[in-house]
Structure 1
Amino acid sequence: DRYYFLFFLPCLYLPSSARFSPPPLPPIFPTSLSPSVLQCALCRDVTLPPGPIYRVAGFPLSLPCVVSGFEGPRTQDFEWFLYREDAGGRQIGVVSTRDQGFPYAPFQARVRTGEVRVERDAGDKARLVVQRLRPEDQGKYECYTPSTDSTFRGNYSASVAVKVIPDTLQISYSRSLTGQPVPEGSELTLSCSAAVQSRQHTHLSVTFGKRGGQSSGSPAGGEVSTIREIISIDRVLTVTPGRSGSYKKRYDDGEITLEKRNGEGGRDLYLMKMKAVQPEDTGSYFCEASQWILDPDGSWQKIAQRTLDIGNLTVQQLAESLSVSSSPRGVVTLQVGSPLSLTCEVAGLPAGGTSGLLVQWMKRGSVEVARISPDGVVSWGDDLSRASGGSMEKVADGKYSLKLFSARPSDSGVYRCAVSVYAGRRNPGPSTAATLTQRSEGVTVNLKTKDVVVSAVAELPRGPLLKRGSTITLICNVTVTTTGPTEVQVQWVRQPIPEPVITKRENAPAEPPSPRPPVEDKPRLVAALTYEGVAQIYANGSEVSIDRLSASSYRLRVHSAATDDQGLYVCQAEVWGQDPHGGWYNTGAKAESSAVTVYLYARVADLLLIPLVIGVSSSLFVGIVIIATVTCCFMKRLAKQRARK
C-alpha cells in the first residue's frame, strides 16, 4: 500500500467538494526537487480568470472555465458553485451541464428563465453567464468538472472571487432632435453627458450612432433596423470614426468631430458635430456610454452600458429645397448704350451660411459673362473688356446682381443665373465637386440698334503692269449711311486665283494627266485697320502696310511683291457705333467688296536672261561635240601610223 501511494503522489489533488481526504505520506522524496519536476505527464487542470473580478449590478457576468489534461470523452461537464460571503462559506449549487435539478433554490427560477445559464464554447470550454447580476450574487464562484479519468490526477475545480458593485453610470442629453426636416448641408451638433461614481478605477467610453430603416426585401415588405456607429471616444480617449458609410472619410476631412469637455456636476460633456448633414444622415440618433475596468489578467472588460435615444433627424435634400430665380422676368428691351441690370436670388439654403456658393451668369446657354466664387472673387468670362464696363456683386444673403453700364448689341441673348452649392463647405477646393447646381429661368435681352447701311468697293488703280518686285496698291472705298458717329474697321483677305477649267473636245486623243500642286482655297487674312486706327499685319512673306487715305478710303500696299502675293483680294468692312456714354460697339453691319485680281508679270531682265541662257547652253553643247569628234579622229589616225611601223 505504501508504494501505491508513492506512485500517484505527484498528481494527487482533489477538489474542495471531494468527500474524502488522502492519507498522509512519508517524506520519501528529496526536498531539493522543484514542484515542476514532481508533476506528472497527464493531469486534469481546471482554470478560471484570476480575481477578484468586479462587475456591476444589473449587468451581465461571464466567467469562462477551461479544463485540460483529462481522460475520457472530449466533451466534459461543468458544475458551478457559489460561496456567499454572508453564508459562512456554505456551498450553493448554481447550474450544471449534466443535471437539470442541480441548482439550489436561490437559482432555480433564474436558471429556468435562462437568466443564469452555461454557454459552451467547446467540449472543454464553457462559461457561466448571469444576465443581470444581483448584489447577493457576490461571492466566490467555483467551477467543478466531474471526473471522467481512471484515477484522480490533478485539480478538478478552480475558484474566483466576484465583487458586485452598484450601478452608478449616468447619461443624459441637453437637447433632443425634433424630427423636423433639416436642409442638406446644415450643421448638426449633438451633446451627451456621462458620469460614473465608483470606488474602483474605471474608464468611460462614449459612442454616437444612428439607427436607420431599409427594406429587407421580404415578401411581407418589413424593415430591418440598421445600427451604425458614427464616431466614438474610447476608454483611453482615442477618437475613432465609424466604419460603415462615409463616416471615416468625413472624419478625415474634418467634417465630423467629437470633443470631450468638463461638464457640470462632475459629468463629462461630449459634443459631436457634423459640419454638413447629408441625405444618408437621416435616422434615429442615440448616445451610448460604457463603463470599463481592467481585470487582473490585464484585459479590459465592459461592465456597464447605457444607451440614450436623442431623437430623429430628417435631412431634406437640396434638390427639394433649393430655388434659383432671376429678375426682371421675361423679355427686356433696351436701346444700345443703356445700362443692363439683372438680379439672381437663391432660396432654400442651409441656415448659418455654412455652404459655399458659386454664382455664374450665363448667356446663350454656355457663354459665361461673369462669376462670383465661394470666396467672393469676381471674374469675367471671354469678354474681358466687361471688367471695366460692368460689375457683379453680392447685394445680400442669397442675392446677387449683374450690371452692364453700357449695353452693346453683342450683349443681346438669353441670360440665366447658375448657382452651384457646396453644402457645408464655405471654401471648397478647386477639385471639390458641387453638391448641386441649379439654373434660373431665362431672361431674354433685346437691344435696339440704329439702322446702318454700309457698302465697300475695292479697286486696283490704273498704272503700269505689275511685275515681281513691284508694289501692289489696292484701294477700298466704304460708304456708311446712318445717324450718329461711326467708325469703320477694314480688313483685306487674299484667295488664290482659280485655275481655268479646260473642256475636252470630242474625238480628241487622251492626254496623260499632269500632277498639280495643292492649292490653298481658304482665304487668307493679309492686314486690317481697326476702328481705333490700329494697323494689324498678318502676312509673313512680304512687307505690307495699310492706312486710311480719307474718311471713306482705305489703302493696302504690298511692297516688293512676290509670286505668292498674287491672287483675288477682297475688302471687308464692319461698322462700329458710339453709345451715349462714349463707348464703342460693333453695330453688326458688314459689307464685302467684289474680288480684285492681282497678277504679276515677268520682268524685262528675266525675259533677256532666257535667250542668254539658251545661247550659252547651245554653244557649250556644240563645242563639246566638235572637240569630241576631232579628238576621236586624231586618235584613230595616230593609231594607224603606229601600226605601219
Structure 2
Amino acid sequence: FRYLWIYLFVCLCMFFQCAVCRDVTLPIGPLYRVAGFPVSLPCVVTGYEGPRTQEFEWFLYRDDAGGRQMGVISTRDPGFPYAPFQSRVRNSEVRVERDSGDRVRLVIHRLRIEDQGKYECYTPSTDSTYQGNYSGSVIVKVIPDTLQISYSRSLTGQPLPEGAELTLTCSASIQSEQLTHLSVMFGKHGETSDGDTEIISIDKMLGVVPARLYQKRYEDGEITLEKRNVEGGQDLYVMKMRGVQADDRGSYFCEASQWIRDPDRSWQKIAQRKLDIGNLTVNQLSDIIKVMPVPQGILTLQIGAPLLLTCEVQGLPTQINYGLLVQWLVIVELARMTPAGVVSWGDELSQGRGSLEKVSDGRYTLKLFSVQPADSGSYRCAVSFYAPDTSLSPSTAPIYSQHSEGVTVNLRTKDVRVTAVAQLPRGPLLKRGSTITLICNVTIITTGPVQAQVQWVRSPIPEPITKKDQSPASDVSSPDEPIEVTPEPVATLRHDGVAEVFSNSSEVSVDRITMSSYRLRVHVAQTEDQGLYACYANAWGQDPHGAWYNTGVKAESNTVTVYLYARAEDLLLIPLVVGVSSALFVGIVIISAVTCCFMRHLAKQRARK
C-alpha cells in the first residue's frame, strides 16, 4: 500500500502541474477561405506565468515551399516578417489585432493563393519553468473566388408615385468544389453616417428573413422576396415592395455572401460582394393630389329639391390602380364607398334617401333625392389612398388621406310657429287603478300642409327637502336648490299616426281626438305613474313631392301634476290587519300563561307522590 500511495501522489502532482501548463489554442482545421477576401485566425494562450500581456509570433509553412518556415508577423519585433510579408505588414494588409492581453487575431485583409499552408502561432515563454505547449497551428486552404453577382434591371431614376410597386432583381451564383452556401440580401444605403440598412434577405439555409425595421410590412405582405431558378447557372432573386412610401427613397443595393461550415460546426462568411442597383425617387401624393368638391362655395336649395355633389380627385397617377376609400362628411360620416365599390351610410335614416356612385376614375357623385332641413350644413369629401389589391381591415393604415374644402348647403324654409298646452281634464279624484287622461293642445301657424308629432314625457314629483338657515336665531326654513331631472318618455304619436309606447309597467295609449288635440291615457294607473307630465310638439312639413320632413321647429308645454290617492278599501285594510295581529298576539300570550301554570301544578303533584 505504501507504493500505491506514492504512485497516486505522483499522478496527482502531475495532474495539477499540467492543469497550470501553458496552452496555445487555434481553430480546428482545415479552414477553407476564398482568395481575395479577408481571413481572421484567432490565437489564445492560457495557463501562463508572467505579465497579462503576452507576445505572439506567427509563422507560415507554405505548401509550395516544401515545409520551410516563414515569419509572418510579430507583436514584439517589427523586423520579424520575411520578405514576402514585409510590404503587406507595412500597409497593414497583414496585421495582428489584440482582443485582450492573451487573445489576438491574425488578420490578412486580402488572401492570396500563395498564402495557403499551415499557420503557427508561437508565444515566447514568460514562465519560470518550461511546461506545456508554446505554439499551435491550423491549416488554411485557399479556394478560388467564384462568387458572381449581377442585375437584370436597375432603377432608372424615374420617380415613382407614393403607393406604387417597386421590383428589384439580383442574380447570384457560386461554383466551388467545396460545399458552400449562398445568401442574398437587399438593402438601402444610409443617407448619413449611420451605415447601410438591411431590408430583407434569403439566408444561407434558404429562409426569408426580414429586417427588424421592415418586419411589420413583411407580415402584411407589402414586402416579398423569392428565389427563381433560371438557365445559365445563376439564380434570380426578386424583391417586391408594394406601396412604396416617402421614406423608401434612396440608393438600393444587392449583396451576395458565400458561407462555409468549419470543422467546429460554426458558419463562417468567406466571400461577399455588393452591387448597387440604383437610386429611387418617390413623389409624395400630398404634392400631386388635390381633392375638390363640385360645386364649390355656398349652395342654396328649396326643400324637397335634389342635392348633387361631386368629389374630384385631381392629379391621380394613371399608371397605378390605387384603392380609394371615399367618404362624404357632414360633421359625422354621411356615406362611404370602399375600394371594392361597396356603399354604406352613416345611419339608417340616410339609407334609401340618396346614392353614392363612381362616375369615372377619380370622380364620385353623392345624390340626395329630396333634401330636408336636417340636410343643411357643410359637406366635405375625404379620400384615403391604399396600395393596389390591399385587403382593408380596421387596422389597415392608408398611404395618404386628404379632405376637400367644405360646401355649404342652405335650404329655403318657410316660417313655422308652434305652441303646446297640456291639461288634466276635470273629473273625480285619481286613485290607484284609475285611468289617467291628459290632453295636449297644439297650434301650428305656417303655410302649406303640416302635421304635428307629439311626445309625452314624465318627471318625478320633487320631494320638499328643506334646510335650516345659517343663522341659529332664525327658524325660517328655505328649500334646497331644485335638482334637474331628465324627463323620461312615455309615448309618442308620430306625424304619420303611428303610436310608440315607452312605458313597460302600465297600459298606455295615445290618439288624436281633434285636429289640434292629442290625448294620452294611462290605464289602471299605479303609484309609479304619478308625476309631472308635459308634451313636446314637433312640426312636420310636406315637400313638393309629397314627402314629409321635420321642420326642426318644436314647442314644450307646461307641466301637469298627476297624483294618485289611496282607495277606500285600502284604508279599511289597515285597521283590519292591525286588529287581527293584536288578537293573535293576545291569544298567544294567554295560551302561554295557562300552559305554564298547568305544567307547574303537574310538577308539584308528582313531587308529593
The change in CA–CA distance for 1:553 and 1:170 in structure 2 (over 3 A counts) is same
Conserved? CA contact 1:119–1:129, under 8 Å: yes
| SS of alignment partner, residue 190 of structure 1 | strand
* Whole-Å separation in 2 of the counterparts to 1:368 and 1:288: 49
| 1:260 aligns to 2:224 (yes or no) | no
2:215 to 208, 232, 248: 248
| 1:338 aligns to 2:316 (yes or no) | no
The change in CA–CA distance for 1:583 and 1:43 in structure 2 (over 3 A counts) is same
2:337 to 366, 372, 375: 372
Deviations along 1:328-383, one digit per CA (max 9) or x if unpaired, are 211122222222122223456788768655432221x2x3212234554432223x
Deviations along 1:372-414, one digit per CA (max 9) or x if unpaired, are 34554432223x1221222223444443332211111211111
**1:303 to partner: Cα distance:** 1.6
Structure 1 segment 20-169 matched on structure 2, within 5 A: 46-67=24-45, 74-146=52-124, 156-169=134-147
Which stretch of the first structure deviates more once superposed, 47-56 or 161-170? 47-56
| 1:192 aligns to 2:156 (yes or no) | no
| SS of alignment partner, residue 392 of structure 1 | strand
The change in CA–CA distance for 1:281 and 1:565 in structure 2 (over 3 A counts) is closer
Q: Which residue of 2 aligns with 1:362?
A: 329
The change in CA–CA distance for 1:129 and 1:519 in structure 2 (over 3 A counts) is closer
**1:305 to partner: Cα distance:** 0.9
**1:237 to partner: Cα distance:** 1.6
The change in CA–CA distance for 1:137 and 1:496 in structure 2 (over 3 A counts) is closer
**1:162 to partner: Cα distance:** 3.0
* Whole-Å separation in 1 of the counterparts to 2:566 and 2:21: 125
Look up the equivalent residue of 2:364 and give its one-letter code: Y
| 1:291 aligns to 2:291 (yes or no) | no
| SS of alignment partner, residue 386 of structure 1 | coil
The change in CA–CA distance for 1:600 and 1:276 in structure 2 (over 3 A counts) is closer
| 1:210 aligns to 2:188 (yes or no) | yes
The change in CA–CA distance for 1:487 and 1:96 in structure 2 (over 3 A counts) is same
* Whole-Å separation in 1 of the counterparts to 2:449 and 2:410: 22
| SS of alignment partner, residue 387 of structure 1 | coil
**1:442 to partner: Cα distance:** 0.5
Q: Which residue of 2 aligns with 1:438?
A: 402
Look up the equivalent residue of 1:81 and give its one-letter code: F
Look up the equivalent residue of 1:189 and give its one-letter code: T
1:238 to 179, 186, 207: 207
**1:443 to partner: Cα distance:** 0.8
Which stretch of the first structure deviates more once superposed, 287-296 or 477-486? 477-486
**1:421 to partner: Cα distance:** 4.4
Q: Which residue of 2 aligns with 1:28?
A: none
Look up the equivalent residue of 2:390 and give its one-letter code: R
Conserved? CA contact 1:184–1:350, under 8 Å: no
Q: Which residue of 1 aligns with 2:198?
A: 229
**1:549 to partner: Cα distance:** 3.2
Deviations along 1:454-479, one digit per CA (max 9) or x if unpaired, are 56666777x76665477665555555
Look up the equivalent residue of 2:241 and give its one-letter code: M
* Whole-Å separation in 1 of the counterparts to 2:459 and 2:442: 21
Conserved? CA contact 1:416–1:443, under 8 Å: yes
- For structure 1, the residue ranges without an aligned partner over 5 or more in a row are 1-35, 215-223, 501-508, 618-645
Q: Which residue of 2 aligns with 1:170?
A: 148
**1:520 to partner: Cα distance:** 7.8
**1:289 to partner: Cα distance:** 0.8
Conserved? CA contact 1:496–1:520, under 8 Å: no
In the comparison of the two structures, how many residue pairs are matched?
555
Look up the equivalent residue of 2:181 and give its one-letter code: H
> What is the percentage of aligned positions where both structures have the same residue?
69
* Whole-Å separation in 2 of the counterparts to 1:598 and 1:46: 106
Conserved? CA contact 1:356–1:427, under 8 Å: no
2:548 to 584, 594, 597: 584
Conserved? CA contact 1:193–1:263, under 8 Å: no
**1:228 to partner: Cα distance:** 2.1
Q: Which residue of 2 aligns with 1:416?
A: 380
2:279 to 312, 335, 358: 312
Look up the equivalent residue of 1:438 and give its one-letter code: Q
| SS of alignment partner, residue 350 of structure 2 | helix
1:575 to 530, 539, 559: 539
Q: Which residue of 1 aligns with 2:606?
A: none
Q: Which residue of 2 aligns with 1:641?
A: none
Deviations along 1:64-97, one digit per CA (max 9) or x if unpaired, are 3445566665544443333444444444433333
Deviations along 1:300-332, one digit per CA (max 9) or x if unpaired, are 222211111222334455554553322221112
Deviations along 1:483-534, one digit per CA (max 9) or x if unpaired, are 554333234456789999xxxxxxxx97664989989876665543211111
* Whole-Å separation in 2 of the counterparts to 1:351 and 1:431: 27
Look up the equivalent residue of 1:100 and give its one-letter code: P
| SS of alignment partner, residue 196 of structure 2 | strand
Deviations along 1:34-81, one digit per CA (max 9) or x if unpaired, are xx99x9777655554344332222112223344556666554444333
* Whole-Å separation in 1 of the counterparts to 2:102 and 2:527: 107
**1:107 to partner: Cα distance:** 2.3
Look up the equivalent residue of 1:59 and give its one-letter code: F
Structure 1 segment 392-541 matched on structure 2, within 5 A: 392-421=356-385, 426-432=390-396, 436-452=400-416, 468=431, 476=440, 478=442, 484-492=448-456, 513=477, 525-538=489-502
* Whole-Å separation in 2 of the counterparts to 1:498 and 1:122: 89
Conserved? CA contact 1:419–1:439, under 8 Å: yes
Look up the equivalent residue of 1:307 and give its one-letter code: K
Q: Could you tell me the TM-score, scaled by structure 1's length?
A: 0.72
* Whole-Å separation in 1 of the counterparts to 2:168 and 2:393: 28
The change in CA–CA distance for 1:532 and 1:144 in structure 2 (over 3 A counts) is same
1:545 to 506, 509, 513: 509
* Whole-Å separation in 2 of the counterparts to 1:148 and 1:495: 103
**1:168 to partner: Cα distance:** 1.6
| SS of alignment partner, residue 216 of structure 2 | helix
Q: Which has the larger radius of gyration?
A: 1
Conserved? CA contact 1:185–1:350, under 8 Å: no
Deviations along 1:403-428, one digit per CA (max 9) or x if unpaired, are 21111121111111233445678224
| SS of alignment partner, residue 394 of structure 2 | coil
* Whole-Å separation in 2 of the counterparts to 1:280 and 1:143: 50
The change in CA–CA distance for 1:84 and 1:482 in structure 2 (over 3 A counts) is same
**1:248 to partner: Cα distance:** 3.0
**1:569 to partner: Cα distance:** 6.3
**1:579 to partner: Cα distance:** 2.8
- For structure 2, the residue ranges without an aligned partner over 5 or more in a row are 1-13, 465-472, 580-609
The change in CA–CA distance for 1:65 and 1:578 in structure 2 (over 3 A counts) is same
Conserved? CA contact 1:186–1:350, under 8 Å: no
| SS of alignment partner, residue 99 of structure 1 | coil
Deviations along 1:230-255, one digit per CA (max 9) or x if unpaired, are 22222122332324xx3233334443
* Whole-Å separation in 2 of the counterparts to 1:240 and 1:315: 25
